[in-house]
């Protein structure tokens, strides 16, 4: 396992290392435990195709600090509302949050908790990037991730990820070309809070639609891993 310089950005070198997919979580945790010493946050990037796409995007980066400054000016709940307004007409949004959704119906013991990141299902080797940052939520700024198709803008990604980490200890684990996975130190256990978070997750990506808001909320309870994807 050898660390290589992947590319340079305005804050320094971004390193990359290849590991067997089956060992990626353990390696990530080891790097994560060293962040205060190394000043480098680990992010699982994925397979060779994801590495190629991510590098092409990251090489367009001009100023990481400017992206972070833009994110500082954003209010996470305003981002959520604006994105939900784009997804739904007013009547549909009322129905989404209406009486048909009963938090009391959610099971506090998630029947199918995600006990491992989906990225581990990959075969062969995958890559982990080591960013010149102590904060995982800064990853989209380092990788110029977002602002295409239905993805949030780069600054919106940063603002939302920072907010979820503050509220739930949701740390950046995977940032592949079409997937974000977060590892929670404080899994969601409150069923009323699950309604709010499920709506936020749907706003983050409409492809997170699990068939119903209630089903989406159920899947986010009592699990250490949250996964978002864009088609």
pLDDT at 228: 92
Local structure of 79: helix, strand or coil: helix
pLDDT in tens, 9-38: 999 999 999 999 999 999 999 999 999 999
pLDDT at 214: 79
Whole-angstrom distance between the N-terminal and C-terminal Cα of the chain? Answer: 32
- SS3 percent helix, strand, coil of the chain, rounded to 5, is 50, 20, 30
Q: Can you give the residue ranges of every domain in the chain?
A: 4-229
- Could you tell me the pTM of the whole model? 0.90
pLDDT at 132: 98
């Amino acid at each position: 396992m050898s660390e290589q310089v992947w590319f340079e950005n305005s804050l320094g070198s971004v390193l990359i290392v290849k590991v067997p997919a089956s060992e990626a979580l353990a390696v990530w945790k080891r790097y994560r435990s060293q962040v205060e010493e190394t000043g480098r946050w680990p992010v699982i990037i994925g397979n060779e195709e994801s590495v190629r796409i991510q590098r092409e995007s990251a090489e367009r980066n001009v100023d990481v600090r400017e992206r972070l400054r833009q994110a500082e000016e954003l209010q996470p709940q305003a981002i959520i509302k604006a994105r939900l307004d784009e997804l739904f007409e007013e009547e549909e949004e009322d129905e989404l949050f209406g009486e048909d959704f009963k938090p009391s119906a959610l099971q506090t013991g998630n029947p199918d908790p995600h006990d491992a990141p989906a990225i581990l299902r990959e075969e062969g080797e995958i890559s982990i990037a080591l960013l010149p940052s102590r904060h995982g939520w800064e990853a989209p700024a380092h990788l110029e991730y977002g602002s295409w198709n239905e993805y949030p803008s780069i600054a919106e990604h940063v603002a939302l990820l920072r907010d979820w980490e503050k509220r739930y200890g949701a740390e950046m684990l995977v940032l592949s070309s079409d997937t974000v996975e977060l590892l929670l130190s404080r899994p969601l256990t409150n069923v009323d809070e699950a309604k709010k978070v499920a709506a936020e997750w749907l706003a983050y990506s409409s492809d997170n639609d699990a068939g119903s808001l209630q089903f989406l909320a159920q899947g986010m309870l009592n699990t250490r891993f949250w996964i978002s994807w864009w088609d």
